[in-house]
Amino acid sequence: MTAEYKVLGDVAVITLAAPPVNALGYATRVGITEGLFRASMDARIKAVVIIGAGNAFSGGSDIKEFGTPKALQEPNLLSVILALEASTKPVVAAIHSLCMGGGLELAMGCHYRIAAPGASIALPEVKLGLLPGAGGTQRLPRVLGVENALNMIVSGEPVKSEVLASLPGQKLFDKLAPSPGSLLDQAIDFARSVVTREGELPRVRKLPCGHPQGDAYFQFARNTVAAVSVNYPAPLQCVNAVEAATKMTFDDGMAEERRIFTALMSTPESASLRHSFMAQRAASRIPDVPDDTPQRPVTSVGVVGAGTMGAGIAMNFLNAGIPVKLLEMKQEALDRGIASIRQNFEAWISRRRLKEHEYEQRIALLSATLDYEDLKDADLVIEAVFEDLDVKEQVFKALDRVAKPGAILATNTSTLDVDKIAAFTSRPQDVVGMHFFSPAQVMKLLEVVRGRETAKDVLATVMALAKRINKTAVVSGVCDGFIGNRMIEQYTRQAGFLLDEGATPQQVDRAIEKFGFAMGPFRMSDLAGNDIGWAIRKRRAVERPAMKYSRTADKLCELGRLGQKTGAGWYDYRPGKRDAIPSPVVERMLEKCRAELGGPVRPISDEEIVQRLVYALVNEGARILEEGIASRAGDIDMVYLAGYGFPAWRGGPMHYANEVGLFNVAEAMKRFATNPRDDATFWEPAPLLRKCVADGQQFG
């Protein structure tokens, strides 16, 4: 049962019971409708209370039904809401914990609403490129006023019930219960108290809706929203729908909301946002690691190496209230690491992201040591020392000696073989990669690298821990660069070829930034340090001498232009500033490199730039998928959305390729392969891509 019916004297209580958030899937909708029917037929019943079991009133629509006919199957949400509204016996929604999307729309269809304090109230549909499609845009302005409602609908952000209840003139809540524990009793008492009220039952649809400034206000709202939602059609449409609530009859407004909802549902932006929402949820599950896999407790963490990454990694656990012990080789390094943690926290305080007392609490959880013995009680130790296999060997042998049985030993290596690292210990089943991205205290992505022998409970524990520290975790198999960096290498290689063929760094950056990337490859490289790629290319020259790449980036490094840190890279930088200024030195260098190469130089279109960069990601992504390094195309998309600034409204490289059409993508690759300046072998469409094209399938 996903909605339970109970009679308490003269009140029927319908309890939504579809864990974890009482989503309004088909079975729940049937349960509500049946409950309402039973109550209507039972002469003893004078009123109905709807409440949610567990930790929610309702989180809204059932995402499993998203975009499927089941979502519209009768009784659909609109019909359920109409039935509640039409009930001749008063219906009271009793709201606690979480009331979002369809859950809030359902509550607004009831005659009365009583809320517990602390409940999160939201219409978050805009985050999926949609608007609330079951009356949310028509009813919320009627109960909260146009401006409050529009803010909630356009932002999708939750607001606490007590905040809404305190808004002057609000009609969303008829009463605020003193505590969540007393909510049901309060709701029943309230229901009994309204039974005797004279006159028609209150219905939100009957409330007036307008704004004193009328058109002028909506024009202002449109301008404001347009400025912050470039590339996203939904927020502007939310304004239109709310405006309709002020100008049309309720029923016409509902029809307008439905029309807009249907149109938004078919936009590529909404498809991408819905894809990434689902992909994020899917990524947290590992196909052969069941959800009920037991987890190891993690209540204390050791971090070895307090450099750039170690310090940032430590902050994540401190933020989550987990004590961290930092280990270094020398006191100076330890002091530097702790100073950098303090500095980062202090910067948050000055930006009002952190309160002074929170800072004190976090710092109190941090301790430091030079002695491995002090890590003997840690549940998890993360290594972030130099990227050198010999150093990693020393560290893992030391950890193997001291760590308690069952402790998880993780490496933050970005390029080394996790299986080799695991083999330095007598417990490879406890070893896993936890690849954070820099700055580790900010970046959302965490690649969890599964070694050949990594135990399932270790994986389950690390995936759950990732949620605790607010990371988007994606599992990767062991390979050079894992998912993200292995793909970015191909993208960067294309960027190099484009320069040699005639493009400028600023043209390449501009084109891909216009496509939506947060930062183009050259600005990005200047930020990270051009020497990182330089070191990788030197290694590649030994490991894969046949691999073709542009030498231009090496020449740049040879000039000492290592990026922002040296004040010059692909661009010039003014002291202390980060604005990238096109550089005449680089221009001359490019001309010289092209002359030495001797091939033709041609104008290159932005379209070609975008296709070559993005399809390079796609082709390598297809190989990664085929090799089982990633379990799903959506996992690859999550890596790019959470870690590489891929535009969210395009849904990640694999989703984007599906949208473009894999046939078209493969045809473009074949065309690129005919370019003698490029790497024809790379552009051979990956076998998985070829197979998808042949079968008319998509990446999945």
Q: Is 395 in the site for ligand NAI (CB under 6 A)?
A: yes
**Does the N-terminal peptide bond of residue 90 adopt cis geometry, omega within 30 degrees of 0?**
no
Of the candidates 40, 79, 170, 308, which one interacts with ligand NAI according to CB under 6 A? 308
Return d(Cα 429, Cα 32) in angstroms, integer: 48
Nearest to ligand NAI of 236, 329 (CB atom): 329
Cα 388 to its chain centre, rounded Å, is 32
Q: Is 331 in the site for ligand NAI (CB under 6 A)?
A: no
Of the candidates 85, 328, 447, 500, which one interacts with ligand NAI according to CB under 6 A? 328
Nearest to ligand NAI of 239, 385 (CB atom): 385
Nearest to ligand NAI of 412, 658 (CB atom): 412
* Shortest distance in whole angstroms from residue 328 CB to ligand NAI: 5
Site string for ligand NAI, 250-289 (x = CB under 6 A): ----------------------------------------
Nearest to ligand NAI of 430, 447 (CB atom): 447
Of the candidates 394, 470, 664, 697, which one interacts with ligand NAI according to CB under 6 A? 394
Look up 105 and say whether it is catalytic. Answer: yes
Strand partners of residue 227: none
* Shortest distance in whole angstroms from residue 395 CB to ligand NAI: 5
Which tokens sit at 161? 């019930």
Neighbours of 92 (CB within 10 A): 29
Tell me phi and psi for residue 327, to 5 degrees. -120, 135
Nearest to ligand NAI of 57, 317 (CB atom): 317
Q: How far is CA 474 from CA 194, 312, 450, 629, 637, in A?
A: 52, 19, 10, 11, 10
Look up 453 and say whether it is catalytic. Answer: no
All residues at 6 or more sequence positions from 130 whose CB lies less than 8 Å from its CB, including other chains = 234, 261, 264, 265, 270
| Catalytic annotation, pick one of 34, 65, 85, 105 | 105
Q: Is 414 in the site for ligand NAI (CB under 6 A)?
A: yes
Of the candidates 124, 310, 643, 647, which one interacts with ligand NAI according to CB under 6 A? 310
Helix, strand, coil percentages, rounded to 5, for the chain: 55, 10, 35
* Shortest distance in whole angstroms from residue 430 CB to ligand NAI: 19
Q: How far is CA 404 from CA 376, 399, 447, 452, 465, in A?
A: 6, 9, 25, 22, 19
Compute the CA torsion angle 214, 265, 82, 202 (nearest 10 deg): -30
Please identify, among the stretches 212-220, 301-309, 399-407, 502-510, the one whose residues bind ligand NAI according to the rule CB under 6 A: 301-309
Which tokens sit at 384? 């972030």
* Shortest distance in whole angstroms from residue 375 CB to ligand NAI: 11
Q: Which helix (H) or strand (E) holds 190?
A: helix 183-195
Q: Is 478 in the site for ligand NAI (CB under 6 A)?
A: no
**Residue 571 identity (one-letter amino acid):** Y
Q: Is 333 in the site for ligand NAI (CB under 6 A)?
A: yes
- Which residue in the shown chain puts its C-beta closest to ligand NAI? 307
Nearest to ligand NAI of 18, 326 (CB atom): 326
Of the candidates 52, 305, 563, 621, which one interacts with ligand NAI according to CB under 6 A? 305
* Shortest distance in whole angstroms from residue 467 CB to ligand NAI: 20
| Catalytic annotation, pick one of 65, 74, 85, 125 | 125
Nearest to ligand NAI of 273, 309 (CB atom): 309
Of the candidates 180, 202, 210, 307, which one interacts with ligand NAI according to CB under 6 A? 307
Tell me phi and psi for residue 564, to 5 degrees. -55, -35
Nearest to ligand NAI of 537, 655 (CB atom): 537
Q: Is 309 in the site for ligand NAI (CB under 6 A)?
A: yes
Question: In this structure, are residues 105 and 134 in contact, taking their beta carbons and an 8 Å threshold?
Answer: yes
Q: Is 408 in the site for ligand NAI (CB under 6 A)?
A: no
Q: Is 438 in the site for ligand NAI (CB under 6 A)?
A: yes
Nearest to ligand NAI of 194, 329 (CB atom): 329
Q: How many residues bind ligand NAI (CB under 6 A)?
A: 25
Residue with tokens 């409708």: 33
Nearest to ligand NAI of 386, 663 (CB atom): 386
List the one residue out of 121, 448, 152 whose CA is nearest residue 285.
Answer: 448
Q: How far is CA 600 from CA 551, 554, 595, in A?
A: 17, 21, 9
> Between residue 353 and residue 392, which ones bind ligand NAI under the rule CB under 6 A?
384-387, 391
* Shortest distance in whole angstroms from residue 616 CB to ligand NAI: 21
Q: Which helix (H) or strand (E) holds 258?
A: helix 250-265
Q: Is 304 in the site for ligand NAI (CB under 6 A)?
A: yes
Return d(Cα 638, Cα 621) in angstroms, integer: 12
Please identify, among the stretches 33-41, 140-148, 291-299, 429-437, the one whose residues bind ligand NAI according to the rule CB under 6 A: 429-437
* Shortest distance in whole angstroms from residue 339 CB to ligand NAI: 12
Q: How far is CA 359 from CA 152, 301, 354, in A?
A: 31, 18, 7
Nearest to ligand NAI of 104, 378 (CB atom): 378
CA angle 622, 623, 629 (to 5 degrees): 100
List of long-range contacts for 234-238, beta carbons under 8 Å, 24+ apart = 234/125, 234/126, 234/129, 234/130, 234/131, 234/264, 234/267, 234/269, 234/270, 235/126, 235/154, 237/131, 237/263, 237/264, 238/126, 238/131, 238/137, 238/150, 238/153, 238/154
Please identify, among the stretches 132-140, 307-315, 634-642, 679-687, the one whose residues bind ligand NAI according to the rule CB under 6 A: 307-315
Which tokens sit at 277? 């929402």
* Shortest distance in whole angstroms from residue 347 CB to ligand NAI: 18
CA angle 461, 467, 471 (to 5 degrees): 115
Q: Is 412 in the site for ligand NAI (CB under 6 A)?
A: yes
Which residues here bind ligand NAI, judged by CB under 6 A? 304-310, 327-329, 333, 384-387, 391, 394-395, 412-414, 435-438
Residues designated catalytic: 105, 125
